[in-house]
Chain A
């Protein structure tokens, strides 16, 4: 990225100012949490967000199937976000809409709108580890990342694909999580993830998620263009291609109620 060299100088300057001395007083857990809080703080204030994404599912033989989804998200102070996903394809589920009020530690509230039946169904949300639309992403992977969702441990700082990253171990606090731990490479400049390794309930490496094509919006918020996850057990993979990010769109909680599900387009 164009401001990479600036970043190195920036970090070097901080080192000269004696920041490492301060860091020494911290335990790895405290440092991990501090980084998570900083990442959360930097990504606060976008109010609402809309985006489109193409999801490409690939099986072990390389056969692809695609889904097109639009998302609307509302930032909620002191709680998880409200999110509405609308499916444009596959065409047989066109108009299906998924509304969730996410929470850090208690199950989310989730409703599904089935356009063929005109039916709004409240659905069980215990299972955040289940696959999202038959993809290698789980609901848990795609829901809002609240600080309280994990405990943290800073491991090291290292370079990954030419970027400097904090390597942090996270353990889910949510008892129905599908993971025992996540190793996250968090960019030291953007405070956004570059790579996440997910370890399953048997503590084996289940899948690896990589982020690329970050762009900054509103002079503050970094968002990836691509997210790619590979399941090491099934050899299946899913790519997300994001576009049309918009922030501070004027959406209100009224756009995230059960009535809005029925007219979501």
Chain B
């Protein structure tokens, strides 16, 4: 899982920790999750209702007046049915040194870029841990050395990313997955260095009054694979992930104007081969707003209305199902002591009747427990081979998660 170059980033992080120990602190959570499906699966080998447990402890210590710190966040999941979903990862293992005009981080980390809700186009540093969350929001830890230059003109982050992380995909019994399943053992790389290829990235971020802006660049192995049809060693059909070398420019903007948040993300990527086998540079964007009605019906609750347009120049040749779509969503925040929240969203395909409905809600119980209810419904997904979501068309589910934090 960890390559030699990523190990060198790791040991760089470890070397920076003084040999004597500091009183650090532990925190984290353990969680149980139950997922119930409305229908039998597309592929008879896939499971029905599913139980799973996960834990994510975190250790943190700092010294040098808080200017240096060390953080470790391992993650482990056990899944009742899916061997690929039962997995271990190091989400974070970072040494940090903060000075007045710069910050240096070495080790394994997660980094988030961007502003929109429906998809995260500019966010490219970390690989998606797709077995963790069907919406792609969970990420794998990425080995890196990151120098941030902090100046009057903003923050410039420079990244060296040794060691590529492959996207995780559900196994044979796993659900939700594409059909045929993805065989990660046969991954193909454009780079001769394969997963040892060293990627580079940079981002400038600043804010001016009501505007927050980020401009980013990435050069290396694409986090998004394309797929080729193949066979596994049992002669069964599988999809083989292919990772191209790409170059990507990204822009993210947010204007915070009263109760309106206006959001915009755009990327220009070259080197990525599309579904027609062409490698053309293309542009994709997400643009939209979130408007919040504050204190609705004389209560403390806020109601947010979100709409975003998702566009990809490649259209049907895009590797994502969101080439020309619209998100409509509503976020209800009760602002109560249990931090109760609901988010209900639907993505509409503008070419056909396909719809993706998403529910996320959560509430704290007592001081240390949190219950999360999530669900997705795939509506009017055409049963044709060219449809990217064809494998999940019978996978409408509701998921209840109970987590104990410590």
Choose, from B163-171, B243-251, B292-300, B318-326, the stretch at the interface: B292-300
A263 and B103 contact, CB distance less than 8 A: yes
Interchain Cβ contacts within 8 Å, total number: 97
The answer to whether A90 and B212 touch (CB under 8 A), given A130-B294, A265-B62, is no
Give complex CA distance A66, B60 in Å: 23
Decide if B254 is an interface residue (CB 8 Å cutoff). yes
B258 and A126 contact, CB distance less than 8 A: yes
Residue of B nearest to A252 (CB): B100
Per-residue contact bits, chain A 159-184, to B (CB 8 Å; 1 contact, 0 not): 00000000000000000000000000
Give complex CA distance A133, B336 in Å: 7
Residue of A nearest to B255 (CB): A122
The answer to whether A265 and B337 touch (CB under 8 A), given A66-B367, A91-B405, is no
Question: Which of B150, B261, B339 touches A124 (beta carbons < 8 Å)?
Answer: B261
Question: Residues of A contacting B258 with CB < 8 Å?
Answer: 107, 124, 126
Question: Residues of B contacting A133 with CB < 8 Å?
Answer: 337
Residue of A nearest to B205 (CB): A258
Decide if A135 is an interface residue (CB 8 Å cutoff). yes
Q: Which of A120-142 contact B (CB under 8 A)?
A: 120, 122-127, 129-131, 133-135
The secondary structure that dominates the A interface is loop
B292 and A124 contact, CB distance less than 8 A: yes
Decide if B69 is an interface residue (CB 8 Å cutoff). yes
The answer to whether A65 and B112 touch (CB under 8 A), given A134-B339, A257-B150, A258-B205, is no
A92 and B150 contact, CB distance less than 8 A: no
Question: Which of A94, A120, A126, A259 touches B27 (beta carbons < 8 Å)?
Answer: A94
Decide if A89 is an interface residue (CB 8 Å cutoff). yes
A130 and B69 contact, CB distance less than 8 A: no
Question: Which of B96, B100, B112, B335 touches A254 (beta carbons < 8 Å)?
Answer: B100
The answer to whether A65 and B62 touch (CB under 8 A), given A117-B112, A263-B98, is no
How far does the Cβ of A224 sit from chain B's closest Cβ, in whole Å? 23
Residues of A with Cβ closer than 8 Å to B? 57, 59, 65-66, 89-95, 107, 109, 117-120, 122-127, 129-131, 133-135, 252, 254, 257-259, 263, 265
A-B contact pairs, 22 of them (CB 8 A): A59-B337, A65-B337, A90-B364, A90-B368, A91-B368, A91-B405, A91-B406, A92-B29, A92-B403, A109-B256, A119-B112, A122-B212, A124-B259, A127-B302, A129-B295, A131-B335, A133-B337, A134-B336, A259-B98, A265-B60, A265-B62, A265-B66
